[in-house]
Structure 1
Amino acid sequence: MQLAKREKYLIGLAVCVIVFAVLIQLVIMPFVDGRQRMQNSVAAQEKNLQKIVRLSQEYKALEQDSETLTERLASRPGNFTLFSFLEKAAGKAGVKNNIKYMKPSASTGKGPFKESLVEMKLEKITLKQMVDYLKLIESPDDIVSVKRISVQTNKKETQYLDAILQVLTFSS
């Protein structure tokens, strides 16, 4: 069977189109897909690198804070206790007789530092006495801070306040 020139031309064109389509599917598309995957992988790795850099900076800051805390703890007197510190401050602020109770908690914490907590209740104190006492016990040098405070008016004498404080410090 003889094909006409026009039919040969169409068959040749069809073969070229098929070869071109196969070439695109088997050679060019995998290359383009691989390139896209590579770009996505690079973007993901850049995000991971940024996260690692950020975490490294946070770690260095925490390490510096830990060193500062260790230095401050070392500069505190060796016989420092939170209970006696709060008692002395209460004497200076004139609220020692207003202490209803002081409950020390056991030291807790993992790692190089342990947290010591004292809960105390002050009754029938003025606002000025409260502020003066808080100024005395909030001591960055001695690493003492108020964790929680609850203040309300005294039920019997409304010109006075009752307060429950949770005061904490760290020890090594």
Structure 2
Amino acid sequence: MIKAFWEKLDKKQRYMVAGAAAFVFIVFFFEVIISPFSEAKTRLERNVVSNQLRLQEMVQLDAEFTRQNSRMAAMKQVMSSRTADFSLFSYLEKKAAQAGVKGNIKYMNTVQPAPSAAFEEALIDIGLEKITIKQLADFLYFVESPGDLVRVKRINVIKMREDPQYLSAQMQVSSIVALTPSRRGN
């Protein structure tokens, strides 16, 4: 049947049918073989780019985790070198006496800390009244101690109205302390 049909066609029609068949074959070949491979390659390239971005993020997270781990180890080291009965309150009283401003303490209040799994930040609000700038500088010098994990978190200094040579200072001092098992909720 196909042979009879082919023989009925003249030369020009045979070229047209052969061209159409070649075109259909090429389109079929492209749709069935080339296109799926091309789409798979594109999908694979997108997945590779996506996975590279995830890997970069994981590397950054790993570096951050390592940094935080080393900071935690350093904090544990500092806390282990402090006396077992370390108290920020008594530490501040001792440093105020050292700076000569113990008599100028207006108030010292403990602020409720925000605990974490193993540490908490001990916070104390302290007010100093009728101090000179040198006394304030000395007090800050004695209080700030990276070796004891003590820092001034916030400070507000006001010149006293009645006597402008004196200052009034309110500050919040913080320190990192280890949680005891009873304070962890165990």
Tell me the TM-score normalized by structure 1. 0.95
Opposite residue 171 of structure 1, the aligned amino acid is V
For 2:184, the equivalent position in structure 1 comes to none
For 1:60, the equivalent position in structure 2 comes to 66
Alignment of 1:107-118 (within 5 A): 107-118=113-124
1:47 Cα deviation from its structure 2 partner: 1.3
Opposite residue 19 of structure 1, the aligned amino acid is F
CA distance in 1, matches of 2:92, 2:161: 25
Of the three residues 40, 47, 69, the one matched with 2:46 is 40
Aligned residue pairs total: 172
Stretches of structure 1 lacking an aligned partner (at least 5 in a row): none
Opposite residue 65 of structure 1, the aligned amino acid is R
Q: Deviations over 1:20-54 (max 9, x none)?
A: 11211221111111101101101111111121122
CA distance in 2, matches of 1:108, 1:7: 89
For 2:107, the equivalent position in structure 1 comes to 101
SS where residue 122 of structure 1 aligns?
A: strand
Percent identical across equivalent pairs? 35
CA distance in 1, matches of 2:130, 2:148: 27
Q: Deviations over 1:99-151 (max 9, x none)?
A: 11110123431111111110011112111111110000001111111111111
Instruction: Indicate yes or no: 2:135 matched with 1:145.
Output: no
CA distance in 2, matches of 1:130, 1:25: 82
Cα root mean square deviation, aligned: 1.3
Stretches of structure 2 lacking an aligned partner (at least 5 in a row): 179-186
